[in-house]
Amino acid sequence: MLPVLYPPVLISSQGFTFASTYRSFFTNLKAGMITLSSPDLFQQFRNEMQKIADFRYASAVLQWDQETYLPPKGAAMRGRQVATLSETAHQAFVAPQLGDLIHALLDRSDLTLAERRNVELVHEDYLKQQKLPSSFVRKLAETTQRSFHSWIAARKENDFRLFADDLNILVDMKRQEAAMLGYLKHPYDALLNDHDKGSDTDLLDALFSDVRQPLKELLDKIVASPEVDDSFLRQHFPKQAQWDFGMQLLKDLGYDLEAGRQDLAEHPFTINFNSNDVRITTRIDENDLSNMVWSCIHEVGHALYEQGLPESEYGMPLGEAASYSIHESQSRLWENHVGRSLEFCEHYWPLLQQYFPSQLGKVTAEQFYRAINKVQPSLIRTDADELTYHFHVMVRYEIEKKLIENSIQTEDIPAYWNEHYQRYLGVNVPDDKRGCLQDIHWSHGSFGYFPTYSQGSFYAAQLFGKASKDITKLPELIRNGENQPLLGWLRKNVHQYGRMYKSEELCSLVTGDGLKIHHFLDYMLAKYSNIYQF
């Protein structure tokens, strides 16, 4: 997934009429023509928040276009357009008059629980965004646009140096952002908190410490076991047939194609403009079937979450995802707990054999299940198995933390990356494209995002475990291709709440306990001891 652009700092269309409307509202407010004790004050607040949202989602549309259909010569002007929209939305959001409106609502005693929570969350965001000058927001948007295109060029030429200068500027700006936002212990905490409120380096260091050794021990057992044969996955699988199968998967899993679409992109991602317009992308390797299939399932997990958020809360915090960690829990749940299950394979095996008769005609569903769950240290995070995946995340987390604390510089990244891939995974990195240039996140300025991939996996195990207890015969339902009961459970227990709760609070509400790593470790041990027979 994206590196995901969800939930975007981005947003819809009416934006170009907003500036005059905004000025008019607050001119009247200051003149006393609108009073802060008006019974429809919350509706005025909602209207203004939705107009700001329009700006942000208009920017999101331009970013989606940039990564799908934008012609190369349009890149420079697109950077200006996105920067202008980002700056304008930020200026509107941090205006003192909006602060007056927020504070007036905080003093009200007649708000509903949802209304009060919306106001409280906007107040938190308002105080945070006030710390960032609009000129800085514009410059950051311009820098990320430039960095994205230099990343594309660097990948094309397989040369990190082509990206290094822009990345260096971007890292410096993220250090400045951390300083402006403030932190208690580590500057990286300020950026982590952007992606999962309450997350910090102490929490993540402890989480990764808790899983590092158990995963390494499990990996050692697997490496010592007979190897699983997955060679049949790397035949020629025609692009159109893969695309058609992927589209069938999206429909079966509940993705509303009248409220979304799928396209091809350099790096798969999900982006939303409202709950009725949620778009995903995938990529296709004609010599690797698994690349496209589980990319589709991962991204549709994100999209199902966005499509399940309350439409009535557009522009408000309760219309946004709880956090990036919870967002990743949704994609990892569908991708791994459903999409890599034996039951899922058994259901789709006849259809896969219809699409690819010569490639898969002599393979069984059981063999396919074992193949798609093969554990093998590798170079590419998005292609990694469920176990080694977290070592990929750890490398990126450690690099980001050191970059932001200024203990390593951008020119150190390739050497640090290569050394730690050898240390954690025992693989030699042959070039930059298959090494430190593989992910899009840094070019987007998404520092602090990578840890949510692991956190999301940990939450997914705990949530799926609870769903399995609540939904009668869930494995049989998946075997029969009946995905609606699980989707309905997620809609009720996760999607409907938006940002009402922090990640840990939501987890506790749904499962009866905060995040406990043993759910994930127990799931991994049970799955791989069965596949590798130890």
In the chain, domain spans: 14-158, 233-373
Q: 455 with 196: CB under 8 angstroms? A: yes
Q: Is the pLDDT of residue 25 over 70?
A: no
pLDDT of residue 355: 97
Per residue, the 3-state secondary structure of 470-521, as one string, reads: HCCCHHHHHHCCCCHHHHHHHHHHCHHHCCCCCHHHHHHHHHCCCCCCHHHH
Q: 355 with 241: CB under 8 angstroms? A: yes
pLDDT of residue 67: 86
For residue 78, CA distances in Å to 82, 85, 142, 148 come to 6, 11, 9, 12
**Residue 374 falls in which region: left (phi positive, over 0), alpha (psi -120 to 50) or beta:** beta
Q: Is the pLDDT of residue 122 over 80?
A: yes
pLDDT of residue 39: 56
Tens digits of residue pLDDT in 177-235: 999 999 999 999 999 999 999 899 999 999 999 999 999 999 999 999 999 999 999 99
Average pLDDT of the residues of the chain: 91
pLDDT of residue 3: 35
pLDDT of residue 75: 86
Written as one string, the DSSP assignment of 314-336 is TTSGGGS-S-HHHHHHHHHIIII
Q: What are phi and psi of 98, to 5 degrees?
A: -65, -35
Q: Is the pLDDT of residue 519 over 70?
A: yes
Q: Is the pLDDT of residue 29 over 50?
A: no
Q: 324 with 289: CB under 8 angstroms? A: no
The C-alpha atoms of residue 336 and residue 341 are separated, in whole angstroms, by: 7
Tens digits of residue pLDDT in 126-176: 999 999 999 999 999 999 989 999 999 999 999 999 999 999 999 999 999
Per residue, the 3-state secondary structure of 413-473, as one string, reads: HHHHHHHHHHHHHCCCCCCCCCCCCCCCHHHHCCCCCCHHHHHHHHHHHHHHHHHHHHCCC
Please give the positions annotated as active site: 299
Tens digits of residue pLDDT in 36-72: 445 589 999 999 999 999 999 999 999 899 889 999 8
Could you tell me the pLDDT band of residue 27, with boundaries at 50, 70 and 90?
very low
Bridge partners, 57 (sequence order):
11
The closest alpha carbon to 169, from 192, 155, 150, 191, belongs to 150
pLDDT of residue 4: 34
Tens digits of residue pLDDT in 414-447: 999 999 999 999 999 999 999 999 999 999 999 9
The C-alpha atoms of residue 300 and residue 253 are separated, in whole angstroms, by: 8
pLDDT of residue 383: 87
For 312-350, b where at least 16 C-beta lie within 10 A, e where not — what string?
A: ebbbbbbbbbbbbbbbbbbbbbbbbbbbbbbbbbbbbbe
Q: What is the mean pLDDT of residues 22-49?
A: 62
Q: What is the mean pLDDT of residues 438-460?
A: 96
Length of the chain, in residues = 534
The C-alpha atoms of residue 142 and residue 31 are separated, in whole angstroms, by: 37
Q: What are phi and psi of 440, to 5 degrees?
A: -85, -15
Residues 6+ apart with CB under 8 A from 294: 335, 339, 340, 372
Query: DSSP alpha helices (H): ranges in 130-196?
Result: 134-157, 161-181, 187-195
The C-alpha atoms of residue 84 and residue 358 are separated, in whole angstroms, by: 53
Strands 260-264 and 270-274, by their bridges, are unpaired
Q: What is the mean pLDDT of residues 110-136?
A: 96
End-to-end CA distance of the chain: 33
The C-alpha atoms of residue 327 and residue 305 are separated, in whole angstroms, by: 7
CA atoms within 13 A on the CB side of 315: 21
Q: How many percent of the chain have pLDDT more than 70?
A: 93
Q: What are phi and psi of 66, to 5 degrees?
A: -60, -35
Q: 211 with 521: CB under 8 angstroms? A: yes
Q: What is the mean pLDDT of residues 236-242?
A: 97
Q: DSSP code of 337?
A: I
